[in-house]
Amino acid sequence: MANQLPLVALRDVSFRWPRTSGDALRVARFDLAPGERVFVRGPSGSGKSTLLSLVAGILVAREGSASFMGREWSTMSGARRDACRGDHIGYVFQQFNLLPYLSVLDNALLACRFSPRRAERAGEPKREAERLLARAGLGAELWTRKATELSVGQQQRVAAVRALLGRPELVIADEPTSALDEELRDAFMRVLVDDCAEAGSALLFVSHDPRLAAGFQRVVDIRELAA
Amino acid sequence: MKPMLGMAARSAWNRRFALSLVVISIALSTFLLLGMERVRKDMRAHFSNAVSGTDLIVGARAGSVQLLLYSVFRIGAASNNIRWASVEAVAKHPQVAWAVPISLGDSHRGFAVVATTTEYFGRFRYGDRQALAFSSGQAFGKPFEAVLGADVAASLGYKLGDRIVLAHGDGALEENDHAKNPFTVVGVLARTGTPVDRSVHIDLPSMDALHAEAAPAPGGPSFGPLPPNAGTAPAAAPANSPPKSVTAVLVGLKSRAAVFSMQRWVADYRGEPLQALLPGVALDELWELVGIAERSLLAMGAMVFVVGLAGMVAVILAGLDERRRELAILRAVGAAPRHVMALLALESALITLGGVLLGIVATYGVTVLASGWAQSRFGIALRLEPPAAGEWTVVGAMLAAGLLAGLLPGLRAYRLSLADGLSPRI
């Protein structure tokens, strides 16, 4: 990587939920370079969602430092963190990624609604969304449909398009294939990895399924991060 | 906030079946509040227009509201009559410019019969000091002639030259019909929008003749058949003698400044207990009475609205738990908790707005549908006009209340969205 400043840097971070004893997650050191694709493996309950929330600035670590694009999340106000997340991070959930009352196209454009920067980077957001949707195998006849009318596999691909529209610096995917069967899973992984490569976005992918690790430059086990 | 408005609308539309009931209940309370305001306004206009240019109304001593209601609006209990001598005394008073006696108590098919003098048509004023006008015919000139108000002629289909039968009392009993004394229609008045439209005007001697016939004078045969010639029209034609008594006297003064001294003079009149009321003052008394009922109706309407708002908040809050995933999605794409709060608050505002608009439409619709009925039944003209200042106040208060109520689910969503982050614990 030409740019040596890491996109994401966690140092000696520990996080504890309110009114609980014991840390939900401890990370000694975790870096993610710009454009890098990293697969984080870990069983359920190992703190994967907590890790992603720390990286995305939803949660703020009590100890240690968590920075994104060179800035500490803890130094930013809540509103600033939200805006920064909207501008620079795409997020794909395990399932139910889409707002049921918006059309497929509007769901894909959702991030651009909140982030002028994303809209600007997408060029013509609508045209770009249509291009990405078509490339993900979602034809024009689906664009005006309600999101809930789509199959789970189609919904996840719409979510991937949304996460990538406007070329954010980082895409976070939290077990996005766990609701998909093998064939759909492979189709989804292809869309996600190809689009990330094209957009130049780093990809932080979390899953318990080691078979998906093929297209990634680095594989990290979450249990080894604490060391 | 702009991106949130469209989303709030679509989100609400997505749950339109649950929310439509809320919208309807808000529309209903809007309809109640606006309808009440409208009827109140039009009723007041109706009452205030009914008499103008009359400085005093002199009648038997009773509540002034009662005398006003009976003598001008033909509503409520009959007041006692006053003697003809009192009428003459009032008319002769140096401050009095004119005095028109009226005698009430009879009716024709639900319309009041007003016995008076021909001077009535020249002196009576309504609205903005407008005089009565004849749409056809002229004033009565001799006994057993009748002049009809516009509504009477229109709803009963009478025209000049028709012969009609007047009843003693309220006309509800068949036996009370004076079939033997038909009246001839000689004039129809132009529409005024006042109780005059719903009145049949005859002269005072004719009314006395009606009553003489209904209750044979003391000393006449008190049992057995009536004399064969009693009550046949020509024979019963009243002599041009003054009536024994009338209901009230409408009085115009030479100078309005004398109104209070004249009022005192009437109150001190020795012949019999009399009172003189100022129509405007008596109306104010009436509004004070009616105001109590109006305020309780207003309070009831407001409570219905509060219940509607409570229903809205309940429905939105109940749905919120199912929408925590939606809130997480919004957070993930860069929405701040304040956006989430705005989404919920805007949703409440839109629902309230929808309900209020529906209520306004319903108010206008019912005004159009009911105006004919209110006109013919009560003579009250419900007017179709843009909302007045009072109604805008009501509408504005309702929208503000809806917006405020929406902050409740908004705050709840704000807190949920802060607590949940991207992983809602459903």
Q: How many domains does chain A have?
A: 1
Partners of B200 in the beta sheet?
B113, B148
Residue A95 within a domain = yes
Both B336 and B234 in a single domain?
A: no
Residue B221 within a domain = yes
- The two three-digit tokens of residue A119, written as one number: 């809209």
Residues of A in contact with B328 (CB under 8 A): 93
Residues of B in contact with A102 (CB under 8 A): 7, 10
- Residues 11 to 30 of B: which have CB under 8 A from any A CB? 11, 13-14
Residue A3 within a domain = no
Burial class of B333 by CB neighbour count within 10 A (0 to 12, 13 to 18, 19+): buried
Q: Give the gap in angstroms from C-alpha A22 to the nearest C-alpha of chain B.
A: 19
Residue B79 within a domain = yes
Q: Side chain identity at A87, as an amino acid letter?
A: D
Both B250 and B326 in a single domain?
A: no
Q: How far apart are CA B340 and CA B412, in angstroms?
A: 10
Q: Give the gap in angstroms from C-alpha A79 to the nearest C-alpha of chain B.
A: 6
- How, if at all, do strands A170-174 and A202-207 pair? parallel
Q: What is the pLDDT of residue B234?
A: 42
Q: What is the pLDDT of residue B57?
A: 93
* Range of lowest pLDDT (A1-10, A70-79, B173-182, B380-389): B173-182
Alpha helices in B142-278 (DSSP H): 150-156, 204-214, 233-236, 259-267
The alpha carbon of B54 is separated from its chain's Cα centroid by a whole number of angstroms, namely 21
Q: What is the pLDDT of residue B261?
A: 93
Residue B315 within a domain = yes
Both B135 and B192 in a single domain?
A: yes
Both B84 and B227 in a single domain?
A: yes
Q: Give the gap in angstroms from C-alpha B409 to the nearest C-alpha of chain A.
A: 19
Q: Give the gap in angstroms from C-alpha A53 to the nearest C-alpha of chain B.
A: 7
Both B255 and B329 in a single domain?
A: no
Q: Side chain identity at B306, as an amino acid letter?
A: V
Residue A69 within a domain = yes
Q: What is the pLDDT of residue B168?
A: 61
The alpha carbon of A82 is separated from its chain's Cα centroid by a whole number of angstroms, namely 14
Q: How far apart are CA B11 and CA B18, in angstroms?
A: 12
Residue A32 within a domain = yes
pTM: predicted TM-score of the whole model, two decimal places:
0.71
B337 at interface of A, judged by CB pairs closer than 8 A: yes
Last residue of a domain, which of B220, B246, B277? B277
Residues of A in contact with B335 (CB under 8 A): 82, 86, 114
Residues of B in contact with A115 (CB under 8 A): 333-334
B420 at interface of A, judged by CB pairs closer than 8 A: no
Both B149 and B40 in a single domain?
A: no
Its domain, for residue A30, covers: 8-225
- Asked if residue B300 lies in contact with residue B310, where contact means CB atoms within 8 angstroms, the answer is no
Q: Tell which of A49, A60, A82 to mutate to test the B interface (max B CBs under 10 Å).
A: A82
The SS3 of residue B245 is strand
Tell whether the torsion through CA atoms of B238, B241, B243 and B248 is positive or negative.
positive
Q: List the CATH number of the domain containing A152.
A: 3.40.50.300
Picking from B109, B252, B248, the residue whose alpha carbon sits closest to that of residue B172 is B109
Question: Residue B193: which region, alpha, beta or left (left: phi > 0; alpha: psi -120 to 50)?
Answer: left
- Beta-carbon contacts of B94 under 8 Å, excluding residues fewer than 6 positions away, are none
Residues of B in contact with A103 (CB under 8 A): none
- The two three-digit tokens of residue B100, written as one number: 């028109």
Which stretches of chain A sit within 8 Å of chain B by CB? 49, 52-53, 56, 58-59, 78-79, 82-83, 85-87, 91, 93, 96-102, 110-111, 113-115, 162, 174
Per-residue tens of pLDDT for chain B, all 426 residues: 566 888 888 888 888 888 898 899 899 888 888 888 888 888 888 888 888 889 999 999 888 888 888 888 888 877 788 999 999 999 999 999 999 999 998 888 888 899 999 999 999 988 888 889 999 999 998 888 999 999 899 888 898 998 888 766 554 445 555 556 788 999 999 988 888 988 999 998 888 887 776 555 444 343 444 444 444 444 444 455 678 889 999 999 999 899 999 999 999 999 899 999 999 899 888 888 888 888 888 888 888 889 888 988 998 888 888 888 888 888 888 888 888 888 888 889 999 999 999 999 998 888 888 877 776 666 666 677 777 777 888 888 889 999 899 889 888 888 887 777 777 665
Q: How many domains does chain B have?
A: 2
Picking from B62, B135, B54, B148, the residue whose alpha carbon sits closest to that of residue B101 is B54
Both B324 and B414 in a single domain?
A: yes
- How, if at all, do strands B145-148 and B199-203 pair? antiparallel
Burial class of B290 by CB neighbour count within 10 A (0 to 12, 13 to 18, 19+): middle
For range A171-197, the mean pLDDT: 86
Q: How far apart are CA A129 and CA B412, in angstroms?
A: 33
Both B32 and B72 in a single domain?
A: no
Q: How far apart are CA B120 and CA B139, in angstroms?
A: 9
Residue B425 within a domain = no
Residue B177 within a domain = yes
Residue A176 within a domain = yes
Taking residue A134's Cβ as centre, other Cβ atoms within 10 Å add up to 14
Taking residue A16's Cβ as centre, other Cβ atoms within 10 Å add up to 16
Q: What is the pLDDT of residue B228?
A: 44
Q: How far apart are CA B182 and CA B6, in angstroms?
A: 72
Both B121 and B8 in a single domain?
A: no
Torsion, Cα of B370, B376, B377, B382 (10° steps): 40
Which residue of chain B comes nearest to A49, CA vs CA?
B423
Both B220 and B143 in a single domain?
A: yes
Interface contact flag, B336 A82, Cβ < 8 Å = yes
Q: What are phi and psi of B230, to 5 degrees?
A: -65, 130
Picking from B244, B262, B158, the residue whose alpha carbon sits closest to that of residue B207 is B244
Helix (H) or strand (E) holding B178: strand B177-189
Residue A1 within a domain = no
Q: What is the pLDDT of residue B231?
A: 41
Both B346 and B316 in a single domain?
A: yes
Tell whether the torsion through CA atoms of B20, B26, B29 and B30 is positive or negative.
negative
Q: What is the pLDDT of residue A82?
A: 87
Q: Give the gap in angstroms from C-alpha B310 to the nearest C-alpha of chain A.
A: 25
Last residue of a domain, which of B255, B277, B299? B277
Interface contact flag, A114 B339, Cβ < 8 Å = yes
Its domain, for residue B327, covers: 2-47+287-420
What ipTM goes with this model?
0.86
Residue B235 within a domain = yes
Last residue of a domain, which of B241, B259, B277? B277
- The two three-digit tokens of residue B160, written as one number: 């000049």
Higher-confidence residue of A28 and B380: namely A28
The SS3 of residue B132 is coil
Both B215 and B98 in a single domain?
A: yes
Write the DSSP string, chain A.
----S-SEEEEEEEE--TT-SS-SEEEEEEEE-TT-EEEEE--TTSSHHHHHHHHTTSS--SEEEEEETTEEGGGS-HHHHHHHHHHHEEEE-SS--S-TTSBHHHHHTHHHHH-HHHHHHTSSHHHHHHHHHHHTT--HHHHTSBGGGS-HHHHHHHHHHHHHTT--SEEEEESTTTTS-HHHHHHHHHHHHHHHHHHT-EEEEEES-GGGGGG-SEEEEHHHHT-
Residue A120 within a domain = yes
